[in-house]
Amino acid sequence: MTVSQASFALPRLNIYATGGTIAGSSASATDTFQYETATLGIDKLIAAVPELKKIAEVKGEQIASVDSNDISVAILLQLAQKLHQDLAGDTAAAVITHGTDTLEETAFFLSLTTKTDKPIILVGAMRPATAISADGSMNLLQAASVAVHEDAAKRGVMMVMNDRIGSGFYITKTRANTPDAFKSVEAGYLGLMIGLEPHFYYLPQQPSNRPYFDVSGYKELPRVDIIYGYQSTDTALLDAAIENGAKAVVIDATGAGSLSTPLLERVKELTAQGFPIVRASRTVEGYISVPEDEGTGSGFLNAQKARIMLMLALAQQDDLATIRNYFK
């Protein structure tokens, strides 16, 4: 190959598919809520967007074909390990197609478990591929466009949907039905798509206080459960979670992490025994900090992200003091 031919070579882009609505279909073009998720394979997703081949040398890989509610720890670990391996080679960037319901959990997990300057982009869709005005194809093409763009390096894991570029660390699903489903409530978006051109608001940066967990060789993670806070919550669900094998519990509590009197007393007892309880907030925005004898505040993390952080911390046997620092 001559030098001039080499300079026109397209970047290698791996697209890993996991299922979700972006791979969903229905017999009716107007069905946007009773369709079946995860019915189309990666080859069909790529074939539906021929423009992909103009911007990258695309390789598709089917990691799973599930609704994102069935993304397991095994799938998360497989993704992190595969990204580590593939991006260490000549693959320039990675896109992961994913159901939107738990996309933020995978994005957050990968933010904590990958270490690369190369872009890793999660993408989903709110309408199945068969719908009139389906959003998946454009979302996928925009995600790929960001992935291979020179401005996208050194920004960690990102999400591209609905013309927005979001941080994989901060993004969260805030709407159940409409294509504008994701926001980074406190931190804001990283950028905006104008057609296929990404416009980043800031120079490359990483979330502050983002720990890195090396999961190479891991096959599973300790169990962490989430329980919900509401008026007069008793201790039954917390105790059941622990009896059932949870090694830590997140309480999606009210307000700034508040608990009912019986639950607070139980949390104090467990904290004195060194059992990790993290208190997040069922409100969408805020920073949660609690006295040290009353558990651990989740900081800016919502309950589902706090669970991911705890599973990773417990897997490397961090003590309570170290765990507390991850949430500051």
Binding site for ligand ASP (CB under 6 A): 20-21, 37, 67-68, 99-101, 124, 126
Determine if residue 68 is labeled as part of a ligand binding site: yes
Cβ at position 58, least distance to ligand ASP in Å: 22
Residue among 142 and 281 whose Cβ is closer to ligand ASP:
142
Q: Which residue is nearest to ligand ASP (CB)?
A: 99
Residue among 48 and 320 whose Cβ is closer to ligand ASP:
48
* CA separation for the pair 102, 150 (Å, rounded): 29
Determine if residue 101 is labeled as part of a ligand binding site: yes
Residue among 103 and 290 whose Cβ is closer to ligand ASP:
103
Residue 21 a catalytic site member:
yes
Cβ at position 124, least distance to ligand ASP in Å: 5
Q: Which of 18, 32, 37, 100 is catalytic?
A: 100
Residue among 17 and 250 whose Cβ is closer to ligand ASP:
17
Cβ at position 177, least distance to ligand ASP in Å: 10
Residue 296 a catalytic site member:
no
Cβ at position 48, least distance to ligand ASP in Å: 16
The binding site for substrate consists of 68, 100-101
The binding site consists of 68, 100-101
The residues annotated with a catalytic role in the active site are 21, 100
